[in-house]
Structure 1
């Protein structure tokens, strides 16, 4: 859920959705939700938006008058449509790939072993960064 919500062009509303989900459902992993914010941070999201728009243009065709030099306000809804269509497709793909990757990790390692491996990785990373 975190990957899907974070990939959508919510412009900050996704964080509110996370807070609502965490307060409504006890079984949702807060760590998993907020980890998606680390992966799809504001810097990465602009690349996602550009890819989403390009995919939307590929599927729905170019927007008349929507160039960098001469963008019109009338093209706004068409641009947003292409962005959202492309973004939904990319969000579904990223969510499915993320689910498969996490499911394979979870079934390969038990929780204690995975937690120990993650703790070791974090400790090694912190040590490496402090040595610099």
Structure 2
């Protein structure tokens, strides 16, 4: 068990150092991580990697290593509590709002739960991405200053 943990920690550190050693600006690295965080937090299982590829293809200045590193960081274990909180925030926003009536009762529930979850998810994804931008930018600057001494 410990061997797997050591390998995982080694891989994470190696990827993080690859991100830090790139010749791009602090802003590019931080923006890549923030956008990768936003995409990973959104409920897009299975296609988030494809969305990341599209973003890297469209925006050449974004650090692709940081973007995909963020997607690695936001895995199922870190997203589970965020998804739970997303629904709770949506529930707090909508409260006892009227449910749109479809012909099938199950569709009413699916629409209601999905709406609450997605709105709550956006309320979490935006601040988490913003905070991760400033946090990563600060860490990259600090590491690069320390490295140049």
TM-score (norm 1): 0.71
Structure 1 segments of 4+ aligned residues over 4 angstroms from their partners: none
Report the equivalent of 1:126.
none
Structure 1 position 43, deviation (Å):
2.9
Structure 1 residue 91 corresponds to structure 2 residue 125: yes
> Taking structure 1 as reference, are residues 50 and 16 closer, same or farther at Cα in structure 2, changes over 3 Å only?
same
- Structure 2 unpaired stretches of 5+: 1-34, 99-104
- Structure 1 unpaired stretches of 5+: 65-70, 115-132
Report the equivalent of 2:66.
32
Whole-Å separation in 1 of the counterparts to 2:52 and 2:145 = 24
Report the equivalent of 1:110.
144
- Kindly report the root-mean-square deviation, in angstroms, between the aligned alpha carbons of the 2 structures: 2.5
Structure 1 position 111, deviation (Å):
6.9
Whole-Å separation in 2 of the counterparts to 1:109 and 1:24 = 28
TM-score (norm 2): 0.63
SS at match of 2:112: helix
> Taking structure 1 as reference, are residues 62 and 31 closer, same or farther at Cα in structure 2, changes over 3 Å only?
farther
Report the equivalent of 2:55.
21
For each residue in 1:24-43, what CA deviation from the matched residue of structure 2 results, as whole angstroms up to 9, or x when unmatched?
22222111111111221123
Matches within 5 A, 1:1-132: 1-61=35-95, 72-110=106-144, 113=147
Structure 1 position 16, deviation (Å):
0.7
Structure 1 position 100, deviation (Å):
1.4
Whole-Å separation in 2 of the counterparts to 1:46 and 1:105 = 26
Q: Higher relative contact order by CA 8 Å / sep ≥ 6: 1 or 2? A: 2
Structure 1 position 63, deviation (Å):
7.5
